[in-house]
Chains A and B, each alone.
Chain A
Amino acid sequence: MNHFKKLLPTPSFLWTALFLLFLTPWLTAQDSPEPSADDTDAAVEEIVETEESTEVAPPKESPYLAVVGGDIYTVTDGMIARGALLAKNGRIMKVGKRVRIPKGARIIDATGMRVYPGLIAVDSSGFLRGSGASARDGFDPFSLTLDLGLAGGLTTVHGSNAVAKLTRGSLDGMLLTTSPWVKLNWTSTSPASRRSLRNSFSKARDLIRAVRAWERDKQIKSDVGEEPEAKGVNSDHLRLLRGEATARFAANSLKDLLGICDLLEEFPMQSVIFGGREAWACAGRLGRVNARMVLTPRAKQYADDRLNRPSGWSIENAQKLWAAGVEFAILPSQKSISTGGIAGRDLLTLPMEAAFAIRGGLSQKAALRSVTLDAAKILGLEDRLGSLEPGKDADFIICDGDLFDYRTFVQWSVVEGNVVYDKQEMPYFAHIRPRPASEKVLAAVVEALEGESTEVAVEESAVSDVDAPEEE
């Protein structure tokens, strides 16, 4: 993006960087003692050099990206108030209160803002074309859908049988995995297909047992014959039982959900169930079979009065599942994205759907997991995505308020360490509550350089204009 190149060399930006490094203790080296007056001067000198070097060398050359001043929601390790995050070559290097920022690094001032892992949509439409690996050839790294996705805070989406990062302008690192799940049809309306599925799983289990026995025999005896053949056994089902794949079900009614629980009890395997409107009624069982869910908190299903048992949807669905230890991801009712839809109904405002789960009693922490780490788990990518930890992918978003507040906008989206969305540089939302310019910060810098006490001025002047709601 051409626009972003303009951003760094502006004086205000460098002044901000200088200011932050000059004043805030978490930017100094972890092992250094309290900075003396001389040390501070040295730090300033260093940064002045940085200013010169950025003029000569294009900022693209530095592999470092730093976000400073924001509250960092790590997901796995709580919130770090006014922390810093350093990324190098698309990976997170450090997250914490005190992080040394290398010379020439691109620095984003997130003072008064919040940093979250990039949001993950476990299903989507419109982002990817084709199926599986060919999604790379069909990928449009400049599409409007992609830009809107980034504006909505998404950094990874599943669709077209592939999982992809929204690497704007590039194909590098875009395709993460293909076919993350094995779809299984297990509904009460088709007893025949249930029977054949169970038979198939039985065969696969028999084979696994036979192979295990054969392996055991091989260690004792010399003549054990050939390894049992996998003839007539569904290879997908074999992978599922061996824990090499995840089964995907779709079920909303209690009857179907309990049926799936039966199957999972008989044949334990990793699973994800899309739908789950009546899941609250069997949350405990779903927890015991380790089923993961994909929920739409506002998807309605009215209670059936003829039934002598709990039925229908519940706004407490997510909360009850969380209490039962069920991990889930949240999806809005529409998997597409647009500026024209009703807010909260499509992927442009994924956190709004999760906010309704919070309304139903779910904790903020759990809601955050449902659109980050737990979604990553459902896609089998929790080792790379979903939290802000050293070693994980530098995919994160910087919001001007609480993620689940309806007023909150994503200010920057970062994928693979590249800033791929900047609210003020894109035409979609720049005009709505424009980001407070760095003038206030700049004024504070000037004040600081004139030798006045500024420790307090930092907090007051740099705080965002947006009234962020209190944390949980």
Chain B
Amino acid sequence: MIAPLFLFVLPVFAQETEREPLGRLTAYRVDHVETLDGDALKKAVILVRDGVIERIGKTVIIPDGAVVKDFRGQGWTVMPPFTVSHASAFQGATRGRGRNGKYVGIDTVWLADNELLKDYLSHGVLLAGIDPPGTGIPGRTSVIRMTAHAPVPEAVVQDLHLKLTLDSNRSAKDLLRNGLKDADAAIKKEEKAKVDWEQARKDWAEKQKTKAEAEKKEASKKEAPKKEGSASAAKENDKEQKEEEKEPPKEFTAPKIDSQLSPVVDWVRKERVAQIWLSDAAEWVHWNDILKDRELPWELVLSHTSSHNFHEVVEELASAGVRIDLPARLAMQTRYTRIHINLAAELVDAGLEKLVLRPSSSGVSGLSSWRVGVADLVREGLDKTIALKSMTIEPAASMGQEEVVGPLVVGMAANFIFVSGDPLDPLAEVVLVVEDGKTVYDRELEEQEEGR
């Protein structure tokens, strides 16, 4: 019983000893910084105090007593950590199609001792989105951080976006339509209950008032002799009043909403963002058919299937003004041609502002081909800075984690990675991951350990 626990604590300890003492300054001297905030910096210094970037730039005076980590002359690049918007490799279960709003992504994921965490970290990934398995209305997404080293690691965010999927299946459309319909009905029901309650409170207050007045009058009349008939009438009155005297509750309690439906209700109330998974251009048309003119908060997640035909609706997609997440790879125009479609570049050209590129296949192999896929897109026309943003700060923004993974600017948490070259060069490796000013992954050390 104790032995496994003990094993558990060991790596945590190892981590502790590597930490920089708090309050101390660390200066990183590097060849190249992709700040993703304006232009890239060459030969720059990043000054970190207490896990926060204090200064960053070409001319930063390094104060005395700062620990200087000099990585110059190796051609390394520093950039914000990678963020995988949908890390399906962690998913530990399958579920079918249906209205399963009560589930969250982390439900099916076992994080303790999960080797994948380290694998992801070794690829420079700090944050990853976890989706609930299944299709239709499968539940809500979660976010995990690869460095969650507690004995029972927890998700950074348990319950984030509502996941909705649309594919060629016809029932998928009914599922969404009925979800919206039922959510509308639930909201209406609650509104009506509130109006009823307010009315009941009002009526009750008025009744109390008239009753008090009547009692006053009666008190003044009491001295006068009573008639026999009126006494029995008063008794009946008392009975009636007693029945009505039940005070409506002071606080309004909304009618209970089915737990499978309640995240949909949140969405309809614009309190939650929905991530809409579309399998091809047809589903975009169907999604608009379902949404009609409703204004709801949503993002798109495009999943290329065999059809590869999102280019048919590029302009409409880009002008929807929502964040779009797609796998980082070139698509073919149809099965019968070899015409490349660079959907990401086409979307950006058409005016898309928020682009997320995720690994095109799940698992660790997908991570290694991720940068290759993005490099393909950049080679064929996608802007490089946009591409790097789409792998880092843009997915983090979608997760509400801008504070964790954001542009490398003053005041930002010192979360960054070192890549041994151009981040989009497939031969370049992630060599160092720094989280809150602490080194949480060092390729050299890891390789030494592995060699031993």
Please provide the chain A residues from 415 to 472 with a CB less than 8 Å away from any CB of chain B in the complex. Answer: 427-428
Kindly list chain A residues whose C-beta atoms are within 8 Å of the C-beta of B170.
129-130, 134, 137-138
Measured CB to CB, the closest approach of chain B to A159, in angstroms, equals 14
Given A130-B170, A137-B170: A142 in contact with B337 (beta carbons within 8 A): no
Tell yes or no: A169 within 8 A of B by CB: yes
Residues B336 and A143 in contact, CB atoms below 8 Å apart: no
Total residues of chain B contacting the partner, CB 8 A: 23
Kindly list chain B residues whose C-beta atoms are within 8 Å of the C-beta of A144.
307, 334-336
Residues A2 and B314 in contact, CB atoms below 8 Å apart: yes
Residues B282 and A141 in contact, CB atoms below 8 Å apart: yes
Q: Whole-angstrom distance between the alpha carbons of A309 and B170 in the complex?
A: 50
A/B pair count, beta carbons within 8 Å: 50
Q: Hey, what's the 0/1 contact readout for A397-428 against B, CB within 8 Å counting as 1?
A: 00000000000000000000000000000011
Q: Which of A1, A130, A139, A427 is close to B312, meaning CB atoms less than 8 Å apart?
A: A1
Which residue of A139, A142, A143, A427 has the most chain B CB atoms within 10 A of its CB atom?
A142
Measured CB to CB, the closest approach of chain A to B291, in angstroms, equals 13
Measured CB to CB, the closest approach of chain A to B413, in angstroms, equals 43
Tell yes or no: B112 within 8 A of A by CB: no
Residues B289 and A171 in contact, CB atoms below 8 Å apart: yes
Residues B281 and A142 in contact, CB atoms below 8 Å apart: yes
Tell yes or no: B427 within 8 A of A by CB: no
Kindly list chain B residues whose C-beta atoms are within 8 Å of the C-beta of A134.
170
Kindly list chain B residues whose C-beta atoms are within 8 Å of the C-beta of A339.
336
Measured CB to CB, the closest approach of chain B to A133, in angstroms, equals 10
Q: Whole-angstrom distance between the alpha carbons of A134 and B174 in the complex?
A: 9
Give the contact-size bracket for chain A: 10 to 19
Name which residue of chain B comes closest to A5, CB basis: B315
Q: Whole-angstrom distance between the alpha carbons of A208 and B309 in the complex?
A: 54
Q: Which of A1, A130, A170, A427 is close to B336, meaning CB atoms less than 8 Å apart?
A: A427
Q: Whole-angstrom distance between the alpha carbons of A140 and B313 in the complex?
A: 13
Please provide the chain B residues from 336 to 394 with a CB less than 8 Å away from any CB of chain A in the complex. Answer: 336-337, 339
Please provide the chain B residues from 282 to 319 with a CB less than 8 Å away from any CB of chain A in the complex. Answer: 282, 285-286, 289, 307, 309, 312-315
Residues B339 and A140 in contact, CB atoms below 8 Å apart: no
Q: Whole-angstrom distance between the alpha carbons of A142 and B173 in the complex?
A: 17
Residues B173 and A139 in contact, CB atoms below 8 Å apart: no
Tell yes or no: B280 within 8 A of A by CB: yes
Please provide the chain B residues from 171 to 190 with a CB less than 8 Å away from any CB of chain A in the complex. Answer: 173-174
Tell yes or no: B168 within 8 A of A by CB: yes
Kindly list chain A residues whose C-beta atoms are within 8 Å of the C-beta of B309.
142
Q: Whole-angstrom distance between the alpha carbons of A153 and B136 in the complex?
A: 36
Q: Whole-angstrom distance between the alpha carbons of A169 and B309 in the complex?
A: 11
Residues B333 and A2 in contact, CB atoms below 8 Å apart: no
Given contact pairs A130-B170, A142-B312, a sample of 19 additional A-B residue pairs in the complex whose CB atoms are under 8 Å apart = A2-B315, A129-B168, A129-B170, A134-B170, A138-B169, A138-B170, A140-B280, A141-B281, A141-B282, A142-B280, A142-B285, A142-B309, A143-B307, A144-B336, A169-B285, A171-B286, A339-B336, A427-B334, A427-B339
* 10 A/B residue pairs, CB under 8 Å, sorted by A: A2-B314, A137-B286, A138-B168, A138-B169, A140-B307, A141-B281, A142-B285, A169-B285, A169-B313, A171-B285
Q: Which 4 A-B pairs have the closest CB atoms?
A: A140-B282, A137-B170, A137-B173, A138-B170
